[in-house]
Structure 1
Amino acid sequence: MTEAYGQRLGGVLRVESGPAIVTRALRTADIAVTEIRCDNPLREKRGPIPREDAFIVSWHLRDSRNREYWEDGRRVSVCDLRAGESCLHDLKRDPTAFPDKAFHALIFYLPRAALDAIADDANAPRIRDLSYKPGAGVNDITISGLGSLLLPALSHPDQANPLFLDHVLLAVGAHVAQTYGGMRPMSRLVRGGLAPWQERRAREVLLANIKRGVPLKEVARECGLSAGYFSHAFRRTLGVAPHKWLIEQRVALSKEKLRDGGLSLSDVATECGFSDQSHLTRVFRQAVGVSPGAWRRILQR
């Protein structure tokens, strides 16, 4: 379990409380924000936060003069941070600070898996690294604005709307990926279609059940959609209805299976999700223009 947010982070930084908000909207990774405040700091180096493949973004609500900052056990900067500025930190580099004055900050936790999921959802190449100057503050008005929206929720979590919090934390992740990771979408989303992650998940579920089939409502549920909306969005994105797409995949798979001379046509039908050999023959002939047996003879020649 990570120590980069919540009470565990508070323990590492030696503060008594660490109220946090966590979103699991990405399914594969958490994004979190923790409020860290210390009015009577100890004059000693804090941390380090245990290494992991993740980044943290700190948004500072108080000035911090002559702040000493280390990475990999080496002091890399001594600088002033002003209230409203943000800093980026790579947890693989063992970031450590020595705040000897009172401090107050929001700490955003962004694991690599979350950035990968954000890039995947944007249909963009995955991010290799973030561009930042170690220990230096940047005046990022987007981080400041999003952080300001989260402060009331951290003070009164029982009154916060979970969907709103998910939206804000995902916005932080997307902003960091674009601004510091250079993420650029490869193509625009189809209006009324599936998001990239929904398209990937739908393909995965349908292909995993290619032999026995799967109810449409189960695939839709995996994508967080109703069956009716999913069917419409799938057609908008891939150009065919889900059942038609699955038949196309079964035909494509049967072409590969027909290369194996040790499989009978009945075996091929079973392996590819057809009810029997005659079903395979009918669908295959309709899609390809020749029967499976003729296709196999063509391959042999």
Structure 2
Amino acid sequence: MMAPEIRHGALRTRVLHSGDCTVTRLTQQGSAHVELAQEQPGDGYIVMLKLRPPHSFELFVGGERHGHARNAPGQSGSVCLVPRDAGVRMVLEAPFDMVQFDFPQRALEQWAAAHGLPAHGPLRPPPPGTCDPAIAALGNALLPALDHPARVSPLFVAHATQALTAHLLHAFGGHAPSHVPGRLAPWQEQRAKERLGAHRDGPVSIAAVAAECRLSPGHFATAFKRSTGCSPTAWLASQRIDSSRALLRRGELSLAEIAAATGFSDQAHFTRAFTRVTGMPPGAWRRQQLVREPIYR
């Protein structure tokens, strides 16, 4: 997270990055006409919050004028929501103070998937000049981070931008949760199994897998067990046992070699885990398979 300050003449710009989201504060004192152009590549949305509305403004989206007011500064807290690739241009009369939020589409999709929301269509922009107390409150809460980033917790900033993401989807997307609270969302369960399965033959960090699912280790372990019926380590152990069964059937490797190939610390560890799952030691299990499936030469 960083908040550089950039000055273009009298225009003061402070930028804050939190994950995929960007927050920018634009301030200009005095009396002057300022033209601001904003167009970002890729899908997503830009939300503009007027802390101190300009004396007059014109808003153009894709070359067409979508808002115009002169000698009517409007109400503090009014917002504007536009697609980030639409080609936004504003002509403002200073003084003004605004906060701009930039949300790429992937940030909205990831948050929605993490909370069991279906894929959303385009957000519905509110009419120009709409006041949104939630966006205003979150924007004002981030002002200390923009002005003094070293004094504010990055976790607080992340929670604020996530709360704004939730509000945008709820207020302008109209989605409702579809998964059981306390369990992993479908994308989280799939990602967790992919990450765990990729470490069948070696050590794995449960904390790293939890981070991939955007959860704390404790929350992840609880949600994984509720979703799959077993803990992450037990699930991984069962996958390693499945891999060892395939190697045992082939009959080419020793038990020690199979233990090493499937991520167990040694042969004794492998034997204990295998016996716990199958009810018999791996050597006995292999002999039983050879009897059932004789090799003809």
TM-score, with structure 1 as normaliser = 0.70
1:32 correspondence with 2:22: yes
Sort the Cα spacing of 1:139 and 1:250 in 2 relative to 1 into closer, same or farther, 3 A: same
Q: Deviations over 1:235-281 (max 9, x none)?
A: 233211223323555677899x89xxxx95769x89x94889x98x9
Sort the Cα spacing of 1:48 and 1:274 in 2 relative to 1 into closer, same or farther, 3 A: closer
Residue in 1 that maps onto 2:193: 203
1:49 correspondence with 2:39: yes
Residue in 2 that maps onto 1:70: 60
Equivalent position amino acid for 2:12 in 1: S
1:184 correspondence with 2:179: no
Q: Aligned partners of 1:221 and 1:185: how far apart in 2? A: 22
For residue 167 of structure 1, give the secondary structure of its aligned residue in structure 2.
helix
Sort the Cα spacing of 1:49 and 1:217 in 2 relative to 1 into closer, same or farther, 3 A: closer
Equivalent position amino acid for 2:78 in 1: E
Give the superposition deviation at 1:158: 3.1
Q: Which runs of 5+ in 1 are unaligned?
A: none
Aligned residues: 271
Asked whether the equivalents of residues 51 and 94 of structure 1 are also in contact (C-alpha less than 8 Å), the reply is: no
For residue 17 of structure 1, give the secondary structure of its aligned residue in structure 2.
strand
Q: Aligned partners of 2:13 and 2:83: how far apart in 1? A: 20
1:21 correspondence with 2:11: no
Q: Which runs of 5+ in 2 are unaligned?
A: 280-284
TM-score, with structure 2 as normaliser = 0.71
Q: Aligned partners of 1:197 and 1:23: how far apart in 2? A: 22
Give the superposition deviation at 1:142: 0.6
1:169-180 equivalent positions in 2, closer than 5 A? 169-180=161-172
Q: Aligned partners of 1:73 and 1:110: how far apart in 2? A: 22
Equivalent position amino acid for 1:58 in 2: M
Equivalent position amino acid for 1:105 in 2: M
Identical aligned residues as a percent: 28
Give the superposition deviation at 1:7: 4.9
Asked whether the equivalents of residues 51 and 93 of structure 1 are also in contact (C-alpha less than 8 Å), the reply is: no
Where is the strand percentage greater, Structure 1 or Structure 2?
A: 2
Sort the Cα spacing of 1:194 and 1:103 in 2 relative to 1 into closer, same or farther, 3 A: same
1:125 correspondence with 2:115: no
Asked whether the equivalents of residues 80 and 129 of structure 2 are also in contact (C-alpha less than 8 Å), the reply is: yes
Equivalent position amino acid for 2:194 in 1: E
Residue in 1 that maps onto 2:282: none
Q: Aligned partners of 2:221 and 2:58: how far apart in 1? A: 56
Sort the Cα spacing of 1:7 and 1:200 in 2 relative to 1 into closer, same or farther, 3 A: farther
Give the superposition deviation at 1:6: 5.8
1:145 correspondence with 2:140: no
Asked whether the equivalents of residues 42 and 84 of structure 2 are also in contact (C-alpha less than 8 Å), the reply is: yes
Equivalent position amino acid for 2:14 in 1: P
For residue 33 of structure 2, give the secondary structure of its aligned residue in structure 1.
coil
Asked whether the equivalents of residues 13 and 26 of structure 2 are also in contact (C-alpha less than 8 Å), the reply is: yes
Q: Aligned partners of 2:130 and 2:39: how far apart in 1? A: 22
Equivalent position amino acid for 2:119 in 1: R
Q: Aligned partners of 2:130 and 2:141: how far apart in 1? A: 19
Sort the Cα spacing of 1:188 and 1:7 in 2 relative to 1 into closer, same or farther, 3 A: farther
Equivalent position amino acid for 1:177 in 2: L
1:140-289 equivalent positions in 2, closer than 5 A? 140-190=132-182, 199-212=189-202, 214=204, 216=206, 219=209, 225-226=216-217, 230-249=220-239, 264=250, 273=262
Aligned-pair Cα RMSD in Å:
4.1
Asked whether the equivalents of residues 39 and 103 of structure 1 are also in contact (C-alpha less than 8 Å), the reply is: yes
Q: Aligned partners of 2:34 and 2:12: how far apart in 1? A: 19
Equivalent position amino acid for 2:83 in 1: D
Equivalent position amino acid for 2:228 in 1: L
Give the superposition deviation at 1:172: 1.0
Residue in 1 that maps onto 2:91: 98
For residue 127 of structure 1, give the secondary structure of its aligned residue in structure 2.
coil
Q: Aligned partners of 2:239 and 2:113: how far apart in 1? A: 23
Q: Deviations over 1:177-202 (max 9, x none)?
A: 22112232112321xx5577754542
For residue 144 of structure 2, give the secondary structure of its aligned residue in structure 1.
helix
Larger radius of gyration: 2
